[in-house]
Structure 1
Amino acid sequence: MPSRGGMRTRGLQATIRGTGTRLGRAVGRTPPSAAVVLAVATAAVFYRLGDRPLWWWDESFYANAAHNAIAGGHWLIPHLAGFDTIHPSPFLEKPPLAIWLEALSIGVFGPTEFAVRAPSAAATVATAVLVFLLGREIRGRGAGLVAAAAFLTTPAVIVGTNAARFGATDSLHTFLGSLLVALVWLHAADRRDVPPALVGGVAAALLLTKGFAAGAFFAALVPLLLVRRGRFSARFVGVATAVTTVAVGWWVAAVYLLVGDYFVEEIFLEPVWHRIVGADAASTSRRTLVPIFEYPYLTRLQSVFRPWWFPFLFGAVVAAVTGRRTPPDGRSGGLSPRFLVWWTAAVFAPFLFFGTKLWYVVPTFVPAALTVGWLVAAAVDGTTAAVATDASGGERGDGWPIRRSAAVVGLVAGTALAALAGPSGRLYAPADGGGVALDPSMPPDLSVLAVVAALCVGARLVSTDGLGPGLLSLPGGLSLDADAFLRALTAGVALVLVLGVLVGTPAVYAAGNGDEPADTDFRHLGETTAAVVPAGERVYVQPNAAARWFYASYEFYADRPMREVPVDRLRTDPDVRYALMTSQGVPIVDDRNPSVVAESSHLDLVLVELGPPAEP
């Protein structure tokens, strides 16, 4: 028997497959080195993507809401079951775009872990390619290669919770926000005439993904809009604003008309305002380097941005000093390294005060990785002016002068500190009496030196014109651009080497993996329920069992409606055939001869099939 909602997915499949065909044609026109980044990133991020169970917190919430969109038609207002209530109810803590994309993915691939995570993984791959292309635009192919490698080997990105390999909102948020900044930056710097409708569309998608958290990216754009305001005509601003307003406003207006103030409470008061004023119950006091900060990001970033945190810090200093001088061509709004420092700070700073989770700052790693790429390229390219690629793929200077010696010193110092931090990546921590204390691991991690050396060589080679013998004639009237081929091969070898050393096999290290008992047990209970309980048959939940656990993950796997009922109904109602109970609660239905279908000692949950009620 087809699963619930299966008939509704057939129309989606044809549409999305057609879109995939068009995307495939676009990929075919991708420059060779960018295509290599695309291929390596896809292999790293999608490797065994669906192996581990759903994480029973955030990931299961979005998966459950996406499944309810497909199965129950809850598209306009996403519905979540198994969190605040057992039955599906409005879920408006986040805008719906990420949920819609997961629902479309489920429509194509079925209700699987892979389908839930595919949109997030695809967004991470797209971000890696964007990082490469933007790094190439800033300082040439070498900068793009190093920046892409730094982004793809950042632990918080590739294996962190709610990042690339999780079905959540943060990877999509990172991609769309970074794309918005990149488009406006390129337009402001006279590198591209970006259509205002495209800017408005990306801004709308960003807002529909993460809501108010998107504000950090808009803050990053402020210097561009002020310094290069001549590039933004009234028509440009008007069209971009109108597209954004219409694309976001219709959903906001429709939902508000349907649920009223509940929407304001869910989308703003609870997730945003309460956190700002300190009413968020999740906020706790932690040891931070600066007492007024909410979360120890400055301490934790050593590990979650390992080993690039210290090269980034030195790169930021070198970039800030470099950016003080006006470039010879007089374009003060060019693709300057100084803007990378601002971009990093703009998307990071708000969460120092209000953030409580590591994944909130994932967008920081895009400009930070670009800064590392810029630093390495500036140290190895042997020129005094930054280089970038024009529309034809050739190198050209963008006029930002830099002393190579400053970049070399910054790279060496940052790499040395990263190596001294050891495998844990921790070099400093809050001191017991206040201030900062050194906390180096022993012995140093020499693999960092090998990785940086490999990237320096790779950056130098891919930036070199004439790497091969030029255009080669092949049998059948074909030809091969040996230069482009060898650069792409060099980029691929460098990326694979660095990923192999720093990341290894992502599925082994992903947070919330199959070794987590709760994740595994919820999948087992849910899949057993789907196999035993007839389709459409309701599963009833013992009251105190419902109070103890979230059931979003269980409901995703079980695909059966649920309801919490009083104990009397469990004992006397003949319509109650299947019940989810605690092990201590099972004896209350002994007179119905309960048969254990599945159980979890870790969760203390038992799924039982009940016989007829005892005769009065």
Structure 2
Amino acid sequence: MLWPGPQSASWQVGSSVGLRPFPLCMGTPEKATPAVTSSRRWVREVAVTTLLLGVGLLLFFYRLDSLYLFDADEPAYAEAAREMLISGDWITPHFNFQPRFDKPILFYWLIALAYKSFGIGEYAARFWSAAFAAGLTASIYLFGRQLLGRRGACIAALAFATNVGTIVLGRAAVTDMTLAFCMTWALFCFFDVYRATDKTHESLLFVGYLAVALAVLTKGPIGLLLPGLVIGLFLIIRRKVRATLSRLRLLSGLALFTVIALPWYVLVLRENGWTFVQGFFVQHHLNRYLGVVSSHVGGPLYFLPVVALGYFPWSGTLPNAFGHLWAIRSRLRDELTGRQELLLFLWVWCGVVVLFFSFSHTKLPSYIFPAVPALALLTGAAGEAAIDERQQGWRWERACDWLVGGMACSLAVILLFLPSIADRIRLREAPDIPPFDFGLAPYVLAVLLLVGLGLALVARRRGQGDMAVAATAVTMILSIVLAVHQVAPAIQESLQKSLHDFAIIARQELRHGDILVAYDLNAPSLVFYSKRQVAIIKRGEEAGFHGLAVSYGRLFIVAKAAAETRLQQVPDIFPLDRRGGYVLYSNRYSP
């Protein structure tokens, strides 16, 4: 048996032995597990560590470079890092050889360093997201073990590693996983020091301040604002603001934060002046929060289905976790056990992140990913506590069963009709791209979800907690591997392959003095794979083609097939190729 046996419904703690990068300062468990020999402890620790290491390597690194970079975010980050190496400018990020102020500098630095180690390509661009995802899996286990025990912490780590949102962002060259890693470590360090009864663990404060500084260098002020709101609200609820702030060594922490985070902002501001302020703070922060950017809009409840589906299938455990908080709602400002304080802290963490972005006018599903580590620990708490006999919390656990079963059945139905649904959407939105060839993958996934999660629910109802968790985790791991092998390549074939092929043709045939043009098209992958600057001509600016023809030699013009009727009206250009919903035009047949 991988974990200790099922706990009672009174939610007692499991074993907390093993290596402790987070010191055991969160109080003595209310009820210790039976003593085991040193050899059994060692074997269990090795088994859990090997399991989580294997899961992390399989889910985040397996075939990491098998897909092209997907427009629009992945190739933009990857290209900016490539241009950093070419130009030697490590202060101002550039994309398409123009300043890019969407995000701070840290993620570009990391990708550039990966390029030096692995070479320029998809693997290096995605390496840090995968590494931080695996690191978060281990961190959640090591942190959670202090109060949840080995069993609950392992459930939390598996829940984090095998949910839909983590897999997507852990295999993508975007900043969300890096931000989540830094913010999670900052909050872990705070809670560890908060629960300490002496000063021996306050060195972790500086790790937390370092993590906040790196979060600010990853995604801007949000890296400081969100952890600050979580900590502040938690301390207000617990009525321990003054007592705790005096222990946080704010002046020393502020000094460390300033030394790490501030220099880049000073240097980039000195080099770019108001252009940086306007592009970074105004356009990509204030305007995104107070206005709608790129039509990414949603209502006040936008993130509820995001949590339910993005955290699937473990989102079904959250009603049970909320039930434990509800049971202590009248005592939140009184004396609580370490486990209960952790429960409150995790719900505050989730609530702050979700509510903060719910008020944002621009919304994307990835915005609330920094809450997923807390959701995973809540899953570990609920799973470790309530998979056995259900007593007072039976209503919440029944809600969990219905929620997981309902979502599994709904997703299975969607998968069964996925080819038809995808084709209808394609014909309505982009009729020129080729059909998605998923093969039998959707039907296999549907059967896998129904059978695997069905077995998990049956096992849970019978009190076989380990079997339920194992069935859920194995179902998701197999589903993810199948999706990586069959579903993702089919999506790539329809959406990205033609752009990649045209970029390669441009890289091979265009010479110095020629230029590649993207017409009414947002496709950063053209820049990355062609390895050259791309001119942008928007709809209504067709007169710009004449100016480019005068200034340059040969033009390669890439556009969606839907824009071809407008291109045909431009004089002196003609089609060279059509494939996959895109067309390639030029003004010359040969150099």
TM-score, reference length from structure 2: 0.74
Instruction: State the distance in 2 between where 1:146 and 1:557 align.
Output: 41
Matched residue type, 1:146: I
Match of 1:53 among 60, 68, 79: 68
What CA distance in whole angstroms lies between the structure 1 residues aligned with 2:226 and 2:206? 21
Contact residue 196 and residue 237 of structure 1 kept, 8 A:
no
TM-superposed deviation, 1:406: 3.6
Aligned twin of 2:81: 66
Indicate whether 1:119 and 2:128 are aligned: yes
For residue 517 of structure 1, report the CA deviation from its aligned partner.
Answer: 3.3
Question: Which amino acid is the alignment partner of residue 151 of structure 1?
Answer: F
CA distance in structure 2 between the partners assigned to 1:550 and 1:169 by the alignment: 20
Aligned to 1:362: 369
Q: CA deviation at 1:533?
A: 3.8
Shift of 1:67: 0.9
Tell me whether 1:218 sits opposite 2:228 in the alignment.
yes
Kept in 2, the 8 Å contact 1:540–1:562? The answer is yes
Shift of 1:65: 0.7
Say which of 194, 197, 202 aligns to 1:188.
194
When structure 1 is superposed on structure 2, of 236-245 and 321-330 the one drifting more is 321-330
Q: Does residue 253 of structure 2 align to residue 246 of structure 1?
A: no
Q: CA deviation at 1:323?
A: 6.2
**Secondary structure, aligned partner of 2:557:** strand
For 2:584 and 2:521, how far apart are their aligned partners in 1? 9
Q: Distance in 1 between matches of 2:536 and 2:336?
A: 69
Which of 94, 99, 124 in structure 2 is aligned with 1:79?
Answer: 94
| Cα contact 1:318–1:406 (8 A) shared by 2 | no
Q: Does 1:316 align with 2:295?
A: no
Equivalent in the alignment of 2:148 = 139
Match of 1:554 among 511, 514, 526: 526
SS at match of 1:604: strand
Percent identical pairs in the alignment equals 21
Which of 39, 47, 56 matches 1:41?
56
CA–CA separation in structure 2 for the residues paired with 1:313 and 1:528: 53
Say if 1:376 and 1:456, in contact at 8 Å, map to a contact too.
Answer: no
Shift of residue 453, structure 1, vs aligned partner = 6.2
The Cα of 1:122 is off from its aligned counterpart by 1.1
Q: Partner of 1:421 in structure 2?
A: 407
Distance in 2 between the 1:194 and 1:452 partners?
A: 44
Match of 2:307 in 1: 301
Change (3 A) 1:366 1:610: same
Partner of 1:349: 355
* Corresponding letter in the other structure for 1:274: N
Match for residue 499 of structure 1?
A: 476
Question: Where do residues 166-565 of structure 1 align in structure 2 (5 Å cutoff)?
Answer: 166-190=172-196, 192-214=201-223, 215-223=225-233, 225=235, 227=240, 229-233=242-246, 236-278=249-291, 280=293, 282-284=295-297, 288=299, 293=300, 296-322=302-328, 324-325=330-331, 335-354=341-360, 355-380=362-387, 405-407=391-393, 409-424=395-410, 445=450, 447-451=452-456, 497-500=474-477, 503-508=480-485, 514-515=491-492, 517-533=494-510, 537-541=512-516, 546-563=518-535
Alpha carbons of structure 1 residues 240 and 265: separation in structure 2 relative to 1, 3 Å = same
Q: CA deviation at 1:599?
A: 5.2
Structure-2 change in CA distance of 1:153 and 1:457 (3 Å): farther
Unaligned runs of 5+ in 2: 1-43, 414-445, 538-543
Structure (1/2) with the larger helix percentage: 2
Unaligned runs of 5+ in 1: 1-29, 82-87, 383-403, 428-440, 462-489
Aligned to 1:21: none
In structure 1, what is the Cα distance between the partners aligned to 2:231 and 2:488? Answer: 33
Structure 2: which amino acid aligns with 1:144? A
Give me the CA root mean square deviation. Answer: 3.8
Distance in 2 between residues matched to 1:111 and 1:321, nearest whole Å: 53
Tell me how far 1:48 sits from its aligned partner: 1.1
Cα distance between partner residues in 1 of 2:407 and 2:558: 49
Change (3 A) 1:492 1:306: closer
Alignment CA distance shift 1:175-1:452 (3 Å):
farther
Q: Distance in 2 between matches of 1:407 and 1:144?
A: 21
CA shift, 1:279, in A, is 5.2
Report Cα offsets for 1:12-45 as digits up to 9, x if no partner. Answer: xxxxxxxxxxxxxxxxxx9522342122112111
Kept after mapping to 2: 8 A contact 1:60/1:553: yes
| Contact 2:91–2:268 (8 Å) recurs in 1 | yes
SS at match of 1:421: helix
- Rounded to whole Å, the distance in 1 between the matches of 2:50 and 2:333 is 32
Q: TM-score, normalised by structure 1?
A: 0.71
